[in-house]
């Protein structure tokens, strides 16, 4: 894999992490109030970390090659994504009106699981096309 390709793959990861960091830095960030806020924020957590997991998975596959099994790269991607989720919740402890919550980590982890499931489905589809 070329250096430019690796730079692109990991650059996308860093850009997405930067977007998450930026959104976490906004005090009083809310979309609506009450229950509606909950039902917009929590799916956003899931979506953010689904995308991050998939970007990291692609970058890890690009870095270590196809000889790595999907489960190996998925574990590496999941650990890196979860570590970033923890750091994001810690970051929010220092943002006025924001709070780092363990419950949010649960939604982030759910995003990782959704990402794993999507990557598995994509892999199955690719294999069927090759057969």
Residue by residue, pLDDT tens for the chain (131 residues) are: 688 999 999 999 999 999 999 999 988 776 666 777 677 778 988 999 999 999 999 999 888 776 667 788 899 999 999 999 999 999 999 999 888 889 999 999 999 999 999 998 988 888 787 76
As a whole number of angstroms, the distance between CA 101 and CA 55 comes to 24
Q: C-alpha angle 51/40/18, rounded to 5°?
A: 40
Distances (CA, A) of 92 to 46, 56, 89, 120: 17, 22, 5, 32
* C-alpha distance from residue 40 to each of 31, 36, 48, 111 (Å): 7, 6, 12, 14
Query: Full-prediction pTM beyond 0.85?
Result: yes
Helix, coil or strand: residue 68:
coil
């Amino acid at each position: 894999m070329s250096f430019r390709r690796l730079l692109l793959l990991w650059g996308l990861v860093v850009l997405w992490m930067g977007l998450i960091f930026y959104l976490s830095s906004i005090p009083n960030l809310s979309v609506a109030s009450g229950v509606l806020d909950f039902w917009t924020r929590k799916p956003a957590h899931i979506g953010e970390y689904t995308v991050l997991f998939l970007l990291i998975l692609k970058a890890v596959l690009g870095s270590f090659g196809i000889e790595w099994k999907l489960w190996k790269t998925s574990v590496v991607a999941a650990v890196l994504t979860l570590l970033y989720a923890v750091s994001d919740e810690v970051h929010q402890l220092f943002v006025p009106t924001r709070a780092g919550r363990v419950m949010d980590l649960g939604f982030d982890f759910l995003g990782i699981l959704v990402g794993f499931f999507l990557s598995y489905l994509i892999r199955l589809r690719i294999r069927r096309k090759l057969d």
